[in-house]
Amino acid sequence: NAGVTQTPKFRVLKTGQSMTLLCAQDMNHEYMYWYRQDPGMGLRLIHYSVGEGTTAKGEVPDGYNVSRLKKQNFLLGLESAAPSQTSVYFCASSYGATAGYTFGSGTRLTVV
Amino acid sequence: AQRVTQPEKLLSVFKGAPVELKCNYSYSGSPELFWYVQYSRQRLQLLLRHISRESIKGFTADLNKGETSFHLKKPFAQEEDSAMYYCALSGPDSGNTPLVFGKGTRLSVIA
């Protein structure tokens, strides 16, 4: 029972490069989320999805895009990475908006 | 607007001492409130939610609507409680709004 799996776990990018972070869940959850975690800032919502084929912006969406083509997968893309996007990225999923979240183990991204 | 405030960035207590991690919220309706914990090098995990009124690992939290607080308490701290704790709020009256997290409090239990 994998729960929520994030790949990759670590990545170093050069400014201007692009990449995609993958989140996969095997719990048949409708809702999926991408948060970033920064020291002193807590967790801030980037984008989320309330079902397959739907996405919505969170608190800090600029510089990121997402797609939810399949219910079990939620992709986070960085089109042109910037040093300000250096962070730990967490994916989470839940049955509903007010249900408890299951988190992935995180992706530590460094942009140099 | 929904807002969660955790006033303490760091809380240090001695083993066996009582612990209280503060959480205050701003929400006009009836909130759903949660505490999540992140142990070193591990993923965030749900510790408890107010609606279930459970006691997990000796921790409890009571929703006080008058004071708009959801403080996390434990009568006797253990070294293994050292972790980052996040309070989070969901507003069921707001439709599908995701959880809003506080900035977190790092609990350090000193032997």
Average pLDDT over residues A43-47: 95
Burial A49-64 (b: 16+ CB within 10 A, else e): bbeeeebeebebbeeb
The answer on pLDDT for B105 being more than 70 is yes
Give chain B positions within 8 Å (CB) of A48: 98
The answer on pLDDT for B45 being more than 90 is yes
The answer on pLDDT for B52 being more than 90 is no
Q: What is the pLDDT of residue B94?
A: 55
| Nearest C-alpha in B relative to A89 | B43
Closest by CA position to B37, among listed B84, B76, B101, B88: B84
| Nearest C-alpha in A relative to B87 | A42
Token pair for A32? 């999926």
Strands B32-38 and B45-49: antiparallel
Q: Hey, how many other C-beta atoms are within 10 angstroms of the C-beta on B76?
A: 12
Give chain B positions within 8 Å (CB) of A45: 98-100
CA A13 – CA B23 distance, rounded (Å): 36
Largest pairwise CA distance in chain B? 45
Interface of B with A (CB under 8 A): 6, 9, 32, 34, 36, 42-46, 49, 86, 90, 92, 95-104
pLDDT tens figures, A74-112:
999 999 999 999 999 999 999 887 788 999 999 999 999
